[in-house]
Amino acid sequence: MPEKFTKQGLEKLKKELEYLKTTKTREIAKRINYAASFGDLSENAAYSQAKEDRAFCVGRIMELEKALTNARVIESTDTGKVQIGSLVTVESSGEKDTLQIVGEKEANIMENKISYKSPLGLYLCGKSAGDTAKIETPAGDKLIYKILKVE
């Protein structure tokens, strides 16, 4: 199944993959060789950590390669409706936030990027400025988001 990305999100993943395959892989290999030079590997914490880091790095490379193989760039068009790539200014409980709707692999709440498949993303997609999105949280609270602007 194709994974959806914004153009910027896809480029970011490509750069991460290139970094992991070149710089990070070499760095970890040097750490493994250096730690192995201490001798007894059975109680060598630096060696064990470097091997764990390598396994994590290889796993992440595989994950990125799979995502990029199945990637589909979604070009945002100016329809006035919320879609992948849209910047959406919303108001909830008197607070305003600007969010970008992105693919699942790009989501990062610290950067105000939410997945189109997240509960809020699902409610916002297809709506226009002036519409409201009502969401019920797992705790049973009801949140109302008013869409102020869609870019």
Distance, CA of 77 to CA of 86 (rounded, Å): 9
**Residue 79, in any domain of the structure:** no
CA–CA distance, 22 with 20 (Å, rounded to integer): 6
Together in a domain, 107 and 143? yes
Q: How far apart are CA 143 and CA 148, in angstroms?
A: 16
* pTM score, whole prediction: 0.71
- Its domain, for residue 14, covers 3-73
Residue 144 near residue 131, CB atoms below 8 Å: no
Distance, CA of 107 to chain centre? 3
Residues 43-56 have pLDDT tens digits of 788 899 999 999 99
Domain count, the chain: 2
Look at the block and give the residue holding tokens 């992991």: 20
Query: Is the same domain home to 30 and 53?
Result: yes
> Which domain-ending residue is among 38, 73, 108?
73
Instruction: Tell me the per-residue pLDDT of 6-45, one tens digit each, with 9 for 90 and over.
Output: 888 899 999 999 999 999 999 999 999 998 888 777 778 8
Are residues 32 and 69 located together in one domain of the fold?
A: yes
